[in-house]
Structure 1
């Protein structure tokens, strides 16, 4: 029985600013520096800037992982006409094989190809594909959660 996207309690998805900051979806602060090139030569001055910098770095790692998987396993790079259950199994198999390769290969040529493609395209993280989530709404509670998290992260960073 499909009940839609469910976020486990205490977990969240890092979302871009096209989404709202809502329960289970953590977005960057709007109107603050976000991309790494905007921090070039500048240290974050506020909890919001620090949070955005860390948010971007984490999303960048996640996007790079998806890029590596899609580069290695072409079946993941295009729409699938298999049943959802089969798609889940394909994704799991690709991830398991990818991890096995990473465990036993000291050098992964797929990573070199991915880095070269990024340099040639000049893209950092900008994805043109936008998907819309229509069943969530902004939450004051979630905004407070983000504010507390960003303040704690910033204070820990400054006190190091």
Structure 2
């Protein structure tokens, strides 16, 4: 069985832990728990005809004081950059993380998840900024850890990229 390390990265409070809990345990909780350091989960899935174990590293959020430790990314086959669709500054945090990753470990497959799609009426991400990043090679998916919308699909899509 293939094993692939996947990291979830982004600003504080974007929903990284909630996405992992939705994906691994199919549950959602409104209770906010700050991740300290890293929390590791595992989920076995089928990609094509192969079984693949995803080792999910839910890494503590980044802000002006705390930066993501690039050392956590060593050995990662891919990652998910999580962005809160209601907070545009989290997109800029994700862009900063992405540029540091590329500088430190090179190009690794990733998806950018615009999370909290259930709050579309509060959406604040500028579409032109998303288009700019898409033209730079980013792939965006809208997800909602709360409703489960596109969560499974996002992990499946990243796993399919890693299987190639």
Larger relative contact order (C-alpha < 8 A, sep ≥ 6)?
Answer: 1
Normalized per residue, the structure richer in strand is 2
Rg larger for: 1
TM norm structure 2: 0.24
